């Protein structure tokens, strides 16, 4: 199981962490990846930059915008999954 940890600290919240989470959740559900990926929230990751911080494993990605959530998923998450080529 791959865990995507989305920062819901105040900086990230005002920059759209709810929308990023909703967009990622929609991808995970529509592609039936709920047995491979889970989404959880966490407080400030000390990477408060111009966008939402997301931790995957030991890597923190900062600056993810709601409009880029799908691109983020394709670039950073999909390669970590097995058998999840886009439909
Ligand atoms: S509020 Fe998200 S990294 Fe600080």
Contact 53, 61 (CB under 8 A): yes
Compute the distance from residue 55 Cα to the ligand 1 centre, in Å: 11
Domains and CATH numbers, the chain: 2-55+74-80 (3.40.30.10)
| Angstrom distance (rounded) from CA 25 to CA 34 | 9
Name every protein residue with a CB atom under 6 angstroms from any ligand 1 atom: 7, 9-12, 44-48, 53
The sheet with strand 59-64 has its strands ordered as: 37-42, 2-7, 52-56, 59-64
The atom of ligand 1 lying closest to the CA of 49 is 3
Cα separation of the two ends of the chain: 21
pTM for this one?
0.91
Beta bridge partners of 2: 37
Which pLDDT band, with edges at 50, 70 and 90, does 83 fall under?
low
pLDDT digits (tens, 9 = 90+) for 16-70: 999 999 999 999 999 999 999 999 999 999 999 889 999 999 999 999 999 999 9
Residue of 5, 7, 51 to mutate, ligand 1, most atoms within 8 A of C-beta: 7
């Amino acid at each position: 199981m791959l865990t995507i940890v989305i920062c819901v600290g105040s900086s990230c919240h005002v920059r759209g962490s709810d929308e990023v989470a909703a967009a990622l959740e929609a991808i995970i559900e529509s592609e039936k990846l709920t047995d491979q990926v889970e989404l959880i929230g966490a407080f400030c990751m000390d990477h408060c930059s111009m966008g939402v911080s997301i931790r995957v494993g030991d890597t923190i990605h900062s600056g993810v915008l709601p409009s880029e959530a799908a691109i983020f998923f394709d670039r950073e998450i999909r390669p970590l999954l097995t058998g999840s080529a886009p439909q």
